[in-house]
Amino acid sequence: MYLGVILNRVFRTKDNPLFHYIEKHQNELNKLYFILPLEVFMSFIEDEKLSSLF
């Protein structure tokens, strides 16, 4: 099974049912992708060090 998860600013890492599901079914997962939308980093783009990455 392949699983992709789009993370946003309010994605919680503590007590998240998705993580419980992943842990329970980890032997069935071939690939797991966590997708971070570019908009999550928009506030950091103004920083000169990070702006070259986008």
Q: pLDDT digits over 5-48, tens only?
A: 888 767 777 888 988 999 999 999 999 998 877 776 666 666 65
The per-residue pLDDT for 4 is: 92
pTM of the model as a whole:
0.56
* CB burial string 14-38: b at 16+ within 10 A, e below: eeeeeeeeeeeeeeeeeeeeeeeee
Q: What is the pLDDT of residue 12?
A: 77
